[in-house]
């Protein structure tokens, strides 16, 4: 019967393990919270803020109306685009999609393609390149150059510096020929690359930008091209180089190239008096048809700007000098923005955002959450525009997932996130973390988990099935026991009947043996009730032959004595066998 007790014991063990599980879960939850990752602030390694604004293309910065009002009358150029270099948002725009001649700003695309060829390994900066025979074929009088002679040899890198720093048109032809095999193939690549960058109003016919009615672009497209070009370190290095020395060549003495960009080169050979300490790169341009053009960048106190000016005017000053509108407009735009915009915290890491309910807390049923770090953005100063009302979207993970936050909670554990936006523009998303620790009440934790466990519909169904299984097992066990007891009684009754039958046979035999002459030769007998056999022991083998007569006499006498002889089998044994005791 021991085997019938195993099932209930297993069921009891399972229930005990189930009850103990929540206690183990408490420890594992606490360990997991300790390993939760921590957020990082939106600042670079040098401490300068980095924009986290997720702005749609073509959107404007907050307060752009004030920028427009301030700059509209001060800027003279036909096309102006002033953009936040990090977020891509516009501070100021004027005719940014109008077609205009780019002049030498074309060389931004030329240098971009050359740098990409270097990065692909198609060409090397150290390659020795020779100016081919027709490199000056399409030049015009007064076009900027580096006095490169046909047959002159220098490195590919030096040709790039000549093209960008000195704005040498013949150097652009040499670069184009060397990269693509021909100028026409290079120009095709220029136009294809412009389309890849999303330019919709640009068409190039040469690599240098000398006048051609079919050679045009827009301020918007030049921003796209320049943004991509500045993402390449080699391009950024070259365009921001003030001076570069080209070693003596086979046809020329050593050259010292001086950057035409007066914003970064106070000794610019063309545009002096515009040096700006916060400026970096990029390229100047001028033809009579294009006017004075300039693409540049500037950075001050973490605010990074990119400005495109096309169609600037040259205005004579009273002292006989010329004011170049591309530079004066650019400086006006930079100075106004830097004076009226700066990094400001939208959300501070010390702000207490909300209270989040906590289950099984020992001393508290909730925890206050705060941002893991501040969210900063470039915003107008308070006296420029009113403080904007930012929208804050709070997401608490426990509410979102439908799983209550449970103790233990440690200060710094991530419990949600906060997204800050304004008019559909997301200014940043930050993790929300617990401001303080919330210790766990083990009794409440285990009790709560037990209640939750035993009220779980699935668990209830399982428990119901277990109860039904136990009840069924008990009923089966009781029935089985009755069957076993009935079988035991039947066997006992059968044994008693067999014993009584044996006694009746013995009595009948004794009666037979006592009343027959043949009976005296029987030394003993044994009745086997299982096979209904009667073993007869004789004292002489001669009587074995007469057993048939003896059997009939015995059967008749036994029937008269009242013994049941139906099917009784008589067997004789060999002489000398000792009969068992009757």
Tell me: pLDDT of 403 over 80: yes
pLDDT band at 127 (very low <50, low <70, confident <90, very high): very high
- Average pLDDT in the 326-348 region? 95
Model confidence at 416, pLDDT cuts 50, 70, 90, reads: very high
3-state secondary structure of 387: coil
- Rounded to whole angstroms, the Cα distance separating 505 from 536 reads 12
Signed CA dihedral, 392, 397, 401, 407: sign only: negative
288 close to 268: Cβ distance less than 8 angstroms: no
User: How large is the average pLDDT for residues 270-279?
Assistant: 96
User: Across all residues in the chain, what is the average pLDDT?
Assistant: 84
pLDDT above 90 coverage of the chain, percent: 57
Q: What is the pLDDT of residue 501?
A: 65
pLDDT-derived band at 69, boundaries 50, 70, 90: very high
User: Residue 20: is its pLDDT beyond 50?
Assistant: no
132 contacts: CB under 8 Å, gap ≥ 6: 150, 174, 177
Calpha distance 24→19 (Å, rounded): 10
Highest mean pLDDT among 85-89, 282-286, 314-318, 454-458: 282-286
- Cβ burial of 410 (10 Å; 0-12, 13-18, 19+) is middle
Cβ–Cβ under 8 Å, residues 271 and 324 = yes
Which pLDDT does position 549 carry in this prediction? 64
pLDDT at 35: 41
414: pLDDT strictly greater than 50: yes
Write down the pLDDT at residue 445.
74
425: CB partners within 8 A, 6+ apart = 53, 54, 55, 56, 59, 89
pLDDT band per the 50, 70, 90 thresholds, residue 509: low
The 3-state DSSP composition of the chain as helix, strand, coil percent (nearest 5) reads 40, 25, 35
Give, as one character, the DSSP assignment of residue 518. G
401, 403, 407, 410: CA torsion to nearest 10: 0
DSSP symbol at 149? P
What's the mean pLDDT in 33-54? 51
- pLDDT computed for residue 554 by the predictor: 66
Adjacency order of strands within the sheet including 354-357:
354-357, 366-371, 425-434, 414-422, 391-396
Number of alpha carbons in the 13 Å side-chain half-sphere of residue 436:
14
- CA-CA distance, 29 to 407, in Å (whole number)? 8
Q: Region 553-580: what's the mean pLDDT? A: 63
Predicted confidence at residue 582, as pLDDT, reads 43
If we measure between CA atoms, which residue out of 49, 47, 45 comes closest to residue 341? 49
Determine the 3-state secondary structure of 103 from DSSP: helix
- The beta strands (E) that lie in 210-270 are given as 243-246, 255-258
Band (455; pLDDT cuts 50, 70, 90): confident
């Amino acid at each position: 019967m021991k085997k019938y007790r195993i099932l209930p014991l297993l069921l009891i063990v399972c229930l005990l393990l189930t009850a103990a599980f929540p206690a183990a879960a408490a420890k594992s939850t606490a360990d997991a919270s300790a390993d939760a990752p921590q957020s990082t602030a939106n600042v670079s390694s040098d401490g300068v803020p980095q924009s986290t604004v997720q702005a749609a293309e073509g959107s404007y910065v907050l307060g752009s109306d004030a920028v427009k009002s301030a700059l509209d009358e001060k800027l003279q150029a036909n096309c102006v685009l002033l953009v936040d270099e990090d977020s891509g948002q516009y501070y100021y725009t004027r005719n940014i999609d109008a077609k205009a001649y780019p002049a030498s700003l074309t060389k931004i695309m030329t240098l971009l393609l050359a740098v990409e060829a270097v990065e692909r390994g198609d060409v090397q900066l150290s390659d020795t390149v020779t100016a081919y025979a027709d490199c000056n074929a399409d030049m015009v009088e007064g076009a900027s150059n580096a006095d490169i002679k046909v047959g002159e040899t220098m490195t590919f890198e030096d040709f790039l510096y000549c093209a960008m720093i000195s704005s040498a048109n013949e150097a652009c032809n040499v670069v184009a020929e060397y990269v693509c095999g021909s100028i026409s193939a290079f120009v095709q690549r220029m136009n294809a690359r412009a389309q890849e960058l999303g330019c919709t109003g640009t068409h190039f016919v040469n690599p240098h930008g000398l006048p051609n009615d079919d050679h045009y672009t827009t301020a918007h497209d030049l921003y796209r091209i320049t943004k991509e070009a500045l993402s390449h370190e080699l391009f950024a290095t070259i365009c921001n180089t003030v001076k570069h020395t080209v070693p003596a060549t086979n046809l020329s003495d050593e050259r010292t190239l001086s950057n035409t960009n007066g914003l970064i080169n106070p000794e610019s050979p063309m545009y002096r008096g515009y040096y700006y300490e916060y400026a970096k790169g990029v390229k100047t341009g001028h033809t009579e048809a294009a006017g004075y053009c300039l693409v540049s960048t500037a950075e001050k106190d973490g605010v990074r700007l990119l400005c495109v000016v096309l169609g600037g005017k040259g205005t004579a000053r009273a002292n006989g000098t010329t004011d170049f509108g591309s530079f004066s407009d650019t400086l006006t735009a930079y100075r106004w923005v830097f004076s009226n915009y700066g990094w400001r915290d939208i959300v501070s890491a010390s702000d207490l955002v909300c209270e989040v309910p906590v289950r099984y807390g020992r001393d508290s049923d909730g925890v206050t959450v705060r941002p893991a770090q501040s969210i900063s953005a470039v915003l107008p100063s308070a006296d420029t525009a009113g403080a904007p009302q930012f929208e804050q979207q709070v997401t608490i993970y426990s509410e979102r997932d439908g799983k209550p936050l449970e103790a233990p909670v440690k200060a710094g554990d991530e419990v949600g996130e906060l997204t800050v936006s304004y008019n559909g523009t997301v200014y940043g998303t930050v993790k929300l973390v617990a401001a303080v620790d919330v210790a766990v009440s083990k009794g409440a934790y285990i009790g709560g988990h037990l209640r939750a466990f035993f009220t779980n519909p699935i668990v209830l169904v399982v428990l119901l099935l277990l109860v039904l299984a136990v009840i069924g097992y008990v009923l089966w066990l009781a029935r089985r026991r009755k069957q076993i007891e009935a079988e035991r009684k039947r066997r006992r009754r059968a044994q008693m009947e067999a014993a009584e039958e044996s006694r009746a046979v013995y009595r009948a035999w004794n009666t037979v043996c006592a009343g027959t002459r043949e009976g005296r030769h029987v030394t003993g007998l044994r009745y086997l009730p299982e096979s209904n056999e009667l073993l007869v022991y004789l004292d002489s083998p001669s009587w074995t032959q007469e057993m048939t007569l003896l059997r009939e006499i015995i059967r008749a006498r036994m029937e008269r004595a009242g013994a049941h002889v139906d099917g009784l089998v008589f067997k004789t044994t060999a002489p000398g066998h000792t009969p068992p005791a009757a």
